Structure 1
Amino acid sequence: MPVFYKKYFPKLSKSSGYTLFLDRDGVINHEQKDGYINHWNEFKFYDGVLEAIKIFAAKFDHIFIVTNQRGVGRGITNEEDLKHIHRNMVEKIMGAGGNIDKVYYCTDIEDSSPNRKPNTGMALQAKKEFEQIDFKKSVMVGNTASDMQFGRNIGAYTVFLTTTRPEEKDNNRQLIDQFFPDLIAYAKFLS
């Protein structure tokens, strides 16, 4: 059962003008123990994610992935491998009836980078490319306090998933509008 901390969220339909921002690691796929997914063969979708994104595609006008990928900046993996992972991920999602308008990622090492969550650079890039985005009619789904702060920083409704860091939910309630155990639980709540 979802818990509402702050505000009620309206019923959605494709023409409602809402945008969905999704974090990647810990939301769409399992995180690696070392923190980095370096190759496609290490990328594992959470159960129900493909179904969830198919449901979202019928509810949201736009769906974006916004992901910090510091491993590239640290030289642990390279940008071509990251792009390969994202191409395969989007192909699988679209093959299952879902949609991702674009994947935005930040490879910067420094937390002060304007593009690194919780800073708003990736959302501003999306708004520049998709001018009809209204951040007040947006939802940010993530599994970290940084994701929730990103959502707050752009004025979005925030949904916290307890997939990897459930303790952050209790320490950051002021940033969270709702929480769910995983992405499919949130999708089923919306359907």
Structure 2
Amino acid sequence: MFFEEINNTWTLFLDRDGVINKRIIDGYVLNKDQFEFIEGVFEALVFLKPLFFKIIIVTNQQCIGKKLINERNLFEIHRYMCDEIEKMGGKIDNCYFAPEVKNVFPNTRKPNPDMAIQAKKDFPSIDFNKSIMIGDTDTDILFGKKLGMKTVRILEIDPIGIEADLTVKNLIEFVNLWKKNQSYL
């Protein structure tokens, strides 16, 4: 079963747009006023916080490469996101982002493993074979699979091209499945 072997030595990798906040279709979150948390995210992150060694955001942000915002603007958005999550009792241990535009090389965008490799440098105890990647796109799922992670797809907008180990509607549904499958909780 998916949940049986997971414990607090594992790392949870999360995509941002479409997992934590609502994606802007054909656009980008360019400031904190445009950052809208998905319903249930706070509750989910509070539940997940003690169950994982680290909770890490890995996000492609080509809005920087397109010069729609700069890195400082993105840091402000991420600070807002992390502060709001912490106010509600959750925690994000770090945020990693790839600023490049698609198809520009060199490129650190998912599905390339660069953000996960940087996270492992920052937190050497991370074991990718004891990690979960939750995302809403094929690139998120491929990122996790390339690194040997368990994968969870948030099925909201994008059609499935690459199968994940588990598919849910949102982060709170993932938590509810976890609760249902863990008799000790």
For 1:27, the aligned partner's letter is V
**With CA pairs under 8 Å and 6+ residues apart, which has the higher RCO, 1 or 2?**
1
Q: Which residue of 2 aligns with 1:190?
A: 178
Q: CA–CA distance in 1 between the matches of 2:137 and 2:25?
A: 16
Residues 36-185 of structure 1 aligned to structure 2 (within 5 Å):
36-111=28-103, 112-165=105-158, 167-168=159-160, 171-173=161-163, 176-185=164-173
TM-score (norm 1): 0.89
- Indicate conservation of the 8 Å contact 1:21/1:141, yes or no: yes
Secondary structure, counterpart of 1:44 in structure 2: coil
- Indicate conservation of the 8 Å contact 2:11/2:127, yes or no: yes
- Indicate conservation of the 8 Å contact 1:158/1:177, yes or no: yes
Q: CA–CA distance in 2 between the matches of 1:104 and 1:42?
A: 20
Segments of 5+ residues of structure 1 without an aligned counterpart are 1-6
Q: Which residue of 1 aligns with 2:4?
A: 10
Segments of 5+ residues of structure 2 without an aligned counterpart are 180-185
- Indicate conservation of the 8 Å contact 2:134/2:152, yes or no: yes
TM-aligned CA deviation for residue 76 of structure 1: 1.2
- The 1:163–1:110 alpha-carbon spacing in structure 2 relative to 1, beyond 3 Å, is closer
User: Identity percentage over the alignment?
Assistant: 39
TM-aligned CA deviation for residue 188 of structure 1: 1.9
Q: Which residue of 2 aligns with 1:4?
A: none
TM-aligned CA deviation for residue 11 of structure 1: 5.1
Superimposed CA distance per residue, residues 33-71 of structure 1 (whole angstroms, 9 cap, x where no aligned partner): 333100100000000001111111021110000000000
- Indicate conservation of the 8 Å contact 2:29/2:35, yes or no: yes
How many residue pairs get matched? 178
Q: CA–CA distance in 2 between the matches of 1:143 and 1:134?
A: 22
Q: CA–CA distance in 2 between the matches of 1:56 and 1:114?
A: 31
Secondary structure, counterpart of 2:120 in structure 1: helix
- Indicate conservation of the 8 Å contact 1:113/1:119, yes or no: no
For 1:48, the aligned partner's letter is G
Q: Which residue of 2 aligns with 1:25?
A: 17
TM-aligned CA deviation for residue 13 of structure 1: 4.0
TM-aligned CA deviation for residue 114 of structure 1: 4.4
- Indicate conservation of the 8 Å contact 2:35/2:77, yes or no: yes
Q: CA–CA distance in 2 between the matches of 1:58 and 1:81?
A: 30
For 1:124, the aligned partner's letter is I
Secondary structure, counterpart of 1:58 in structure 2: helix
Q: CA–CA distance in 1 between the matches of 2:78 and 2:144?
A: 22
For 2:3, the aligned partner's letter is F
